[in-house]
Chain A
Amino acid sequence: DAGVTQSPTHLIKTRGQQVTLRCSPKSGHDTVSWYQQALGQGPQFIFQYYEEEERQRGNFPDRFSGHQFPNYSSELNVNALLLGDSALYLCASSLEGGWRMNTEAFFGQGTRLTVV
């Protein structure tokens, strides 16, 4: 059973460009969350997708947008890249469909984005 897979694993972009990161959730999971982890820090919540809609959003500008497809996979798009967007971007999947406080999130290995 494949876990959460993210692509690409590494990416280098120039300031001002746009980037798309991809995530396939663990089999059977229907919810995808995206996190940004800057060097030396803990992950910061960007947003979560469920039933192809953004369900909740963290404190990130509109340059960060996303999408969830009918097969539950997801994309994270970042426009007008800044140097400060350099980070490890983690995708986490879970099985939602109801309130469950102890829902465990499974993480992928992340995409390391470097903006130069």
Chain B
Amino acid sequence: AQKITQTQPGMFVQEKEAVTLDCTYDTSDQSYGLFWYKQPSSGEMIFLIYQGSYDEQNATEGRYSLNFQKARKSANLVISASQLGDSAMYFCAMREDLNNNDMRFGAGTRLTVKP
């Protein structure tokens, strides 16, 4: 069964504007962690932000914030003030308590920032 769903294969955003990348997940665990990674064309996965299932506050890291809605099982990434260098693939991933070593990834969203 698909654990992580990213429904937007591609997104476009104007430079300096904000963009939201969607992620929904499926788990029966009460304890889990959600991650967002950026993958530029070089291939390396770059960690952006983490949200724990018990965290009451939405995570923020600079221009990145995570809109965590636990009841809806969604963990959307918000990028504010987009920059040309933000153009890349973005992956949502989850680690579950009972399956701690296995990080499950979604299919990704390709973000293109227009000048």
How many contacting A-B pairs (Cβ < 8 A)? 61
Interface 1/0 per residue, A23-56 and B, CB below 8 Å: 0000000000101000011111100100000011
CA distance A33 to B103 in the complex (A): 9
Q: Which residue of B lies closest to A99 (CB)?
A: B100
A residues less than 8 Å from B85 (CB atoms): none
Q: Are the C-beta atoms of A101 and B52 separated by less than 8 Å? A: yes
Given contacts A92-B45, A108-B44, contact A101 B107 (CB under 8 A): no
Interface residues on A, range: 20 to 34
CB within 8 Å of B: which A77-93 residues: 88, 90, 92
Which listed residue, A33, A42, A48, A109, touches B42 by the CB 8 Å rule? A109
Chain A residues within CB distance 8 Å of chain B: 33, 35, 40-45, 48, 55-56, 58, 88, 90, 92, 99, 101-110, 112
28 examples of A-B residue contacts, CB within 8 angstroms: A33-B103, A35-B105, A40-B107, A42-B105, A42-B107, A42-B108, A43-B45, A43-B91, A45-B103, A45-B104, A48-B101, A56-B101, A58-B102, A90-B43, A92-B45, A92-B103, A99-B100, A101-B52, A102-B52, A104-B47, A105-B47, A106-B47, A107-B45, A107-B46, A108-B44, A109-B42, A110-B43, A112-B43
